[in-house]
Amino acid sequence: MAEFDLLSIGNAIVDIIAQTDDAFLEREAVQKGGMTLIDTDRARQLYAAMGPAVETSGGSAGNTVAGFVSLGGTGAYVGKVSDDELGRIFAHDIRSLGVEYQTVPLAGDPPTARSMILVTPDGQRSMSTYLGACVELGPDDIDEALVAAAKVTYFEGYLWDPPLAKDAIRNAATIAHANGREVAMTLSDSFCVNRYREEFLELIRSGTVDIVFANEAEAMALYQESDLDTAIDRLGYDAKRLAAVTRGADGCIIIENAERVEVPATEVERVLDTTGAGDLFAAGFLRGYTAGLSHRDSARLGVIAAGHVIQQIGPRPMRRLSELPEVKAILGVTG
């Protein structure tokens, strides 16, 4: 099998994105700024109450690999959909980007997952997610040759919600390390961290995960700290290889062996939708990392990718990020 720069494993979800206001969130009891798991009935009710929406293939790890290939890397994806209309849409979308995707779809129920994403005028996104077929992702969906062929295997913390996926991830990590590869994870959101704090700490401290991505809220939730610097110090100590903490408009901090590299955010004209900002940061950083760039240059790619996606509606780049002059400059691409 040909080598891939990145294998991304996650919940294969179709995003349904609508713009709204805080009054709607309050009226519908939607938790602002986080991700709430919902059942079938709630999914139908909320969808009916939403305004006009845009449907696009999403899911955190799916967005990351989409951004990664947009930056010129080679990527593969593992995520479970059902053999239904949304499942076929998801498979078509991710393959059309040039991502290797061969996960066998589920026959019958539950249907393909979907996430209702409500974007308020401040750019915050509030997600209500029905996991559907995602809960069926398990160890049998992990292709040993595919993991062995990837420089980095990356997964989302949201995978800790479907129970079978935990075994799949641990299996993938064992295969990756046996083949001299690395494993990365994103903590996904602070609500996810609060659900699985001890398990996430075990993954990091045991070396199951080599590279950790978090934002400020997630880092503080992981260590139950109110002081960000203390949380970052503790994360840097626990992470076996690297940790990256994003800080929105304040840029990011990369920590390796207690040493910090700080990179400012890029200037943006207008924030339309923060959906996918963390996913695209991870895409940019890992693109640089797998290409052998410095941590500073890798982080610069991360903030460029994140800054680009928040100026559009939707979590996947609407143009090839590898064509941006600033990306070409960092990657050393001419022409």
What is the band of 319 on the pLDDT scale with cuts at 50, 70, 90?
Answer: confident
Q: What is the pLDDT of residue 334?
A: 58
Q: Where are the alpha helices (DSSP H) in the chain?
A: 22-27, 40-49, 60-70, 85-96, 144-149, 163-178, 190-205, 216-223, 228-238, 277-290, 295-309, 325-331
Most confident of the following: 1-15, 114-128, 201-215, 272-286: 201-215
- Once rounded to an integer, what is the mean pLDDT over residues 201-206? 97
Answer whether residue 163 shows pLDDT above 90: no
Exposure letters 205-218 (e unless 16+ CB within 10 A, then b): eeebbbbbbbbbbb
In sequence order, the β-bridge partners of residue 59 are none
- Once rounded to an integer, what is the mean pLDDT over residues 65-82? 97
Residue 112 covered by a domain: no
**Residue 1 to residue 223: CA distance in whole angstroms:** 40
Residue 286 covered by a domain: yes
Tokens 């401290």 locate to 205
Q: What is the pLDDT of residue 135?
A: 92
Residue 248 covered by a domain: yes
What is the band of 253 on the pLDDT scale with cuts at 50, 70, 90?
Answer: very high
- Identify the CATH number of the domain in which residue 164 sits: 3.40.1190.20
Answer whether residue 2 shows pLDDT above 80: no
Q: What is the pLDDT of residue 149?
A: 97
Segment 81-93, tens digit of pLDDT: 999 988 999 999 9
pTM of the predicted structure, to 2 decimals? 0.90
Count of the separate structural domains present in the chain: 1
Q: What is the pLDDT of residue 181?
A: 97
Residue 52 covered by a domain: no
Tokens 């890397």 locate to 73
Domain that holds residue 97: 4-10+60-102+135-331
Q: What is the pLDDT of residue 315?
A: 81
Answer whether residue 335 shows pLDDT above 80: no
What is the band of 333 on the pLDDT scale with cuts at 50, 70, 90?
Answer: confident
Answer whether residue 203 shows pLDDT above 90: yes
